[in-house]
Structure 1
């Protein structure tokens, strides 16, 4: 439901303080087939938007015209579906009665809604009714006949505060939906939703309250601790005091085990060599006997 609205506000992905200054969005939707040149526009001058609106309404296509003015907002305020769910419904091709719509994400300059109201009043002979935006949900207008003159309903919403910005915009959106449901009994209406840019004070306060981006660390501090070199094992001596055997280690466990295995081997070798050297054999044992005794053997 919100995807067409987000597509219409393509440039509002950045905060309003970083994208454009002194710009605000504009929306228009109607139950009639209006000759709109462009459905979604990124940036446009206020004079061009006003001229396009008056050209599309010069034939008086509707019986009820809602001219809404929302002060102190930017296009980034309408990215969230919770801020203006009904407005997203009208602009997202989800409402069965809406046949044409228009959205401009950044309008340079202030759009004069009084000029559009006077144009419709003189062109269509419409009557003008001014409605308080905070009391729009409690209005119960009387029934109108088909032969009555067209009606222009002027509605102005105050600028939302910084702390409850989303809540106030949602409330304004609800009041607008109730107002349309109350006045547009014949399902023949056109809504002109103009906005004004936030002031410098509102812009600075909004920029200060925006959360700063912090990079997520999926591994925590464990990786950083493993990559650090452990210098505690190789601590250098703080001073040169002490003897030779206090500074250096000459008798390690490996050297001790080597000596423990070598000493028994030396004892075995010594005993073996001594046993061989103790053998006594006469020289006559290796001589050959040549007498009669040898012949008898």
Structure 2
């Protein structure tokens, strides 16, 4: 199962570059074996209604003593693509924590998961009581009743330093779970809400911008750089005309060398043809007895 979750985490990191807009991820993990509804690997895009029904189905046997319902506002799957921003969440979902028996990752949820319905379901079916903790609180209140629902709400991430802010929320969640609130069997339902249109567009545009450290490499600068001094030296160079210019190149020399024998052959042929001597009588018709015998 750990290998399966690691594959899903890798899938989130790859698909985060082209993440869907108006969607957000969903995470669930528990120290108990939940129902089989979350055992199969989910597709990348799932509706919130489908997630609601599967969560209620997985909690129908009231497996845990503590249920943590975490609410994170205005995030996308790209915020969780880097495991360094959520190291504890990656450890719980990746199989590093051997106490986790069940876990599920849905990269893209269309719509918002109804946490009120989940909370009311746990109160009615499991008899759990609810307590709320804000992510800004430094002290964790004492809770003696069980089963219990611990609601943790994290505000929206700022436009800058999103990773560091999310890392602080992740550390706070680990502190709450590691405290006496999570010393028994527990289940964490991590619900997120999608970003707004404007924030999603800005983040998508920032992902598409690529800036080179050096738009024009140094080697290209060297090739394109003009050496004005060298041109000035060429104008003022000293020496005679035949020292500064080359009149007989190797190509011209080879052409002249090859043309001389051809000109000699042509000359000899013209002389041979012109030296032929034929008398006018050779072209006249013989009228004597010898000519009559030939006929």
**What TM-score do you get using the length of structure 1 for normalisation?**
0.68
CA contact (8 A) 1:69 1:157 kept: yes
Instruction: Tell me which residue corresponds to 2:30.
Output: 30
Within-5 A mapping of 1:216-295: 220-223=217-220, 225-226=222-223, 250-252=241-243
CA spacing shift, 1:163–1:185, aligned 2, 3 Å:
closer
Matched, 1:158 2:149: no
How far apart, CA to CA, are the structure 2 residues paired with 1:124 and 1:82? 36
Unmatched runs of 5 consecutive residues or more in structure 1: 235-248, 256-297
Instruction: Tell me which residue corresponds to 2:171.
Output: 174
Shift of 1:11: 4.8
Unmatched runs of 5 consecutive residues or more in structure 2: 232-239, 247-295
Instruction: Tell me which residue corresponds to 1:20.
Output: 20
How far apart, CA to CA, are the structure 1 residues paired with 2:165 and 2:49? 29
Kindly report structure 1 stretches of 4+ aligned residues shifted beyond 6 Å. 216-219, 227-234
How far apart, CA to CA, are the structure 2 residues paired with 1:59 and 1:15? 34
CA spacing shift, 1:3–1:78, aligned 2, 3 Å:
farther
Matched, 1:87 2:84: no
Shift of 1:4: 4.6
CA contact (8 A) 1:43 1:106 kept: yes
1:192-239, Cα deviation, whole Å (9 max, x unpaired): 0010001123223434555722457799332575489999999xxxxx
CA spacing shift, 1:5–1:172, aligned 2, 3 Å:
farther
Bigger Rg over Cα? 1
Instruction: Tell me which residue corresponds to 1:115.
Output: 117
Q: How many residues align?
A: 236
* Structure whose residues are more often helix by fraction: 2
CA contact (8 A) 1:70 1:158 kept: yes
How far apart, CA to CA, are the structure 2 residues paired with 1:165 and 1:53? 28
- 2:195 pairs, out of 176, 198, 202, with 198
How far apart, CA to CA, are the structure 1 residues paired with 2:127 and 2:7? 36
Shift of 1:114: 0.8
Shift of 1:173: 0.8
CA spacing shift, 1:253–1:231, aligned 2, 3 Å:
closer
How far apart, CA to CA, are the structure 1 residues paired with 2:80 and 2:218? 38
Counterpart secondary structure, 1:192: strand
**What TM-score do you get using the length of structure 2 for normalisation?**
0.69
1:11-40, Cα deviation, whole Å (9 max, x unpaired): 553556x43110000000000011223245
Shift of 1:56: 0.6
Counterpart secondary structure, 2:179: helix
Counterpart secondary structure, 2:136: helix
- 1:53 pairs, out of 52, 55, 59, with 55
How far apart, CA to CA, are the structure 2 residues paired with 1:215 and 1:124? 57
How far apart, CA to CA, are the structure 2 residues paired with 1:155 and 1:185? 13
